[in-house]
Structure 1
Amino acid sequence: MGFGDKAYSTLVKRDLEVERELPEQARADIPSNALRLIGAHALQSSGDQATKTSTVLPWLFYSLGVPPALTGVLVPIRESGSMLPQAFLTPLVLRVRHRKWVFVTGALIQAVTVAAMAMTAAVGSGLAAGVVIVVALTIFSLGRCLGSISSKDVQGRTVPKGQRGQINGLATIASGLVALTLGLGVRLFGGEDLRADQLAWLLAGGAACWVGVAAVYAGIREPADVESTPPAHPEAEQQAPGAVVQSWALLRDDRDFRLFVTVRSLLLVSALSPPFVVTLAVSSGMEGLAGLGSFIIASGLAALIGGGIFGRWADRSSAGLMSAGAAMASVVIVALVVIVTLPAFSEESAWSDFLFVGCFFLLTLLHTGVRVGRKTYVVDMAEGDQRTTYVAVSNSAMGVILLVVGGVSSLLAIAAVEWALLFLAGMGIVGVYAARRLPNVSHGAS
């Protein structure tokens, strides 16, 4: 047994009987491919920390003097921009024999755009800088879109059921370590002064991470006997002019897939609520790099703790994990709103900073679980090109839904941030009940 096999067997609970279901070539490459997946996704998550639309970019906009109106479009552009085009791009992806190159292309696009953000942070200011960063973020989202379409397919080809959730969890742990180190550095050495040039270096580090993602992912070996060729998929040619119609037909006719998309839509509570918690914290007077460092540390700890716990949970029941994470996130939000609306609550108290960072940590931790569960569920519920189509169509649908839900929550936030949080918590509670109808597709269910 080589070093890669020993390392993988130490990190992951393996089922050799399930591994035999993969082609012979794929079985031999499982350890090395899995370790590369872990490394690439850890670097990817680390790069994401540098461009986080819930923490880093809003603080950067504040430092550059960008009008607040532009800050409100960061999360919708980042999330919807990476999802909406997927149904349209899927026919092109299906023509690519080695899907890993789609992911590598997306990683390089993200590296270039994050580097552009870093340059803008170093030399720009005001509205012009904000517009350039928003444009770069839009192109960044397109690269993210390519990665999202292809990554699930590559993982499904190279890693068997029962190990995919653990792979996602280990990648999350690794990214958490990086985020924790970064947050501690920002917290200890950043102080209370918030300068754009400091954040420019943070963004430059993120661009370097994306270059590393591309290099590591390029070494993955996809089994040749499951690779698709253009002639094998004439339906891709037919889908291109009517991607919207084809996507709608899939949602209409595939009951289980439609239910998954519905449940995923209702479980946005853990994804969209953290920025509102940051907004509450900033409005209470929490400023400077030290404050930003606290939120980055919270993100890192959440990933570090949640990765291992939720990875194995997802392999047992990814549907149950999504439901439990959303339920607990809703409880956290309701508790926070109750506390901040109490007459005795004081924003000037040191406990207020602890409250906001603590709630941000819990929501990020629970979102880690929801995200790991969701990624594992969609990989396990289908095989081959159907998996690619499921990922693309569900993400395109979520792009539209995110714009709608984000718009409603933003309108509610104009009246009071607390109303936006309660709206998201209510959606989460409904989603928990809807998730009970999801079929269990995990290996632990068989």
Structure 2
Amino acid sequence: MHDHRQGESAVTWLYPKLVKGEGSDDDVVASARPDIASNGMRQMGAQALQSIGDQVVSAKTVLPWLLTAVGAPGSLLAFLVPIRESGSMLPQAALTPWMRRLAARKWAWVGGAAAQALATAAIAASALGLRGWAAGAAILAALAVFALGRALCSLASKDVLGRTIPKGQRGQITGIVTVLSGAVALGLGLSLEVWGGDVGAELLAALLLGAAGTWVLALIVYATIREPETEPGESGDGSSWLGRSWQLLRHDPTFRRFVLVRALLLVSALSPPFVVAIGVANHGGDLTGLGLFVIAQGVANVLGGRVFGRLADRSSRLLMVWCALGASAFIAAFLVLLQVPAARDSEWLYPVTFLLLAFVHLGTRLARKTYVVDMADGDRRTEYVAVANTAMGVLLLAAGALTGLLAIWGNEWALVLLAVLGVIGALMGRSLPEVSAGSARAA
């Protein structure tokens, strides 16, 4: 018992050193207020472990290399990002009625983490035991299970965060997790660069098995969160989840505008692959090293995590606006520099642009996650998160198809469209209401 109290005391001392309160704790129920520090540390620990795994199970870096290493057909590469990203968003509105029936939402996160651990282990087993079409199909099937587990974690994490942590601290928690995952990504990327040898299926399978272990540790930590249990909510009013989602979008203008703004902010998410494709076309295979882009993502997370986390707590609305403008400006500068032969032939133009876009994309992600958690309470928050993510899953597929069509005439045209959409999103974002604790205190 003495050791337990000492551990709690250490947590109580460390948490305020990491997270600065921007507002009161009135938006957290009284029974949960004594556990804010311990719950915050547990969520940071579990989500940091999950983020470590995410650096390995990446549809933009590691998994494309894995499919190539096992001899899977190149056509399967096109399915990685849609399955990983849209697959984790589309089911969320359908999962909401079930989620509302849970008194403690942390168990949904635990189940989602277990699914991701098993799916990651299955991907590793496929890499070791299969080749060609069979390996590719098995990896994609496991990735679909992974995405479903991620949908549960995404939906539950924001709900648990809102129930246990007050406004003014939520963005900082996400920011600290981002810094930790960025440090891991940086270490992984540097290790791959130092390795310098063939990054084969066996090495990637070993990394994947290690990543599966991080999700097991994460679910153990997350299960210890002291979430205030409430009476299970009703599963709905008898209408289908699709009908309820449509009604929410139709009758809640603020929420509808947020979803539209978030869709327009896809500029920083969708543009990096086109930058890489242009670089590869101009430099052959010199820009295709796995470590290089893992390093760029890690540097962006380490540099931006704490800063963007605090800015999100002050005004997540303004952070969305400025990051969208930043992404559009970086794309415009990149397109201009492509017209200059010396810049176009430089090996630094493409990784630096990738880094800058990863940096502002991080700010966009932290801002919109904090905004949607702060804008509602209780089961309304669960619904907001689910419907927004399901709508984004559909819009992500549509935007990917549209930019892919434009890319037939040249990757530059896809980037032009994304830059224009980013500016429109920033202008619309200015009209969103302020919901952050920092902006309310300033007012």
* Pairing of 1:115-194 with structure 2 (within 5 A): 115-189=121-195, 191-194=196-199
- In structure 2, the residue matched to 1:376 is 370
User: Greater CA deviation, 122-131 or 162-171?
Assistant: 122-131
Relative to 1, partners in 2 of residues 1:305 and 1:140: Cα closer, same or farther, differing over 3 Å?
same
Whole-angstrom CA distance in 1 between matches of 2:240 and 2:291: 46
Displacement of 1:36 after TM fit?
0.9
Picking from 328, 331, 337, the partner of 1:330 is 328
Picking from 383, 392, 397, the partner of 1:398 is 392
Displacement of 1:223 after TM fit?
1.4
Displacement of 1:431 after TM fit?
0.5
User: Greater CA deviation, 31-40 or 124-133?
Assistant: 124-133
User: Greater CA deviation, 191-200 or 144-153?
Assistant: 191-200
Displacement of 1:359 after TM fit?
1.3
* Pairing of 1:32-431 with structure 2 (within 5 A): 32-189=38-195, 191-224=196-229, 227-229=230-232, 233-234=233-234, 236-239=235-238, 242-283=240-281, 284-286=283-285, 291-344=289-342, 347=345, 351-352=346-347, 354-431=348-425
Q: TM-score, normalised by structure 1?
A: 0.93
For 1:131-162, what per-residue CA distance to the aligned partner results, in whole angstroms no more than 9, with x for missing partners? 21111111111111111111111000110001
State the SS of the aligned residue for 1:18.
Answer: coil
Displacement of 1:68 after TM fit?
2.5
- In structure 1, the residue matched to 2:3 is none
Whole-angstrom CA distance in 1 between matches of 2:30 and 2:257: 35
Displacement of 1:215 after TM fit?
1.2
Q: TM-score, normalised by structure 2?
A: 0.93
User: Greater CA deviation, 51-60 or 167-176?
Assistant: 51-60
User: Greater CA deviation, 253-262 or 277-286?
Assistant: 277-286
Task: Indicate yes or no: 2:11 matched with 1:12.
Answer: no
For 1:344-377, what per-residue CA distance to the aligned partner results, in whole angstroms no more than 9, with x for missing partners? 4555xxx32x222211111111111000000000
For 1:42-94, what per-residue CA distance to the aligned partner results, in whole angstroms no more than 9, with x for missing partners? 11111111111111112222323322222112111211111111111100000
What amino acid does structure 2 have at the position aligned with 1:304?
V
Relative to 1, partners in 2 of residues 1:228 and 1:275: Cα closer, same or farther, differing over 3 Å?
farther
Relative to 1, partners in 2 of residues 1:20 and 1:398: Cα closer, same or farther, differing over 3 Å?
closer
Quote the RMSD (CA, aligned, Å).
1.8
Whole-angstrom CA distance in 1 between matches of 2:64 and 2:50: 20
What amino acid does structure 2 have at the position aligned with 1:7?
L
Percentage of pairs with the same residue? 51
Whole-angstrom CA distance in 1 between matches of 2:155 and 2:431: 26
Task: Indicate yes or no: 2:430 matched with 1:436.
Answer: yes
Aligned residues between the structures: 432
8 Å CA contact 1:192, 1:287 repeated in 2: no
For 1:193-244, what per-residue CA distance to the aligned partner results, in whole angstroms no more than 9, with x for missing partners? 33222222222222112112211111111013xx232xxx33x2435x5111
Stretches of structure 1 that go unaligned for 5 or more consecutive residues are none
8 Å CA contact 1:54, 1:274 repeated in 2: no
Whole-angstrom CA distance in 2 between matches of 1:274 and 1:125: 29
8 Å CA contact 1:183, 1:296 repeated in 2: yes
What amino acid does structure 2 have at the position aligned with 1:5?
T
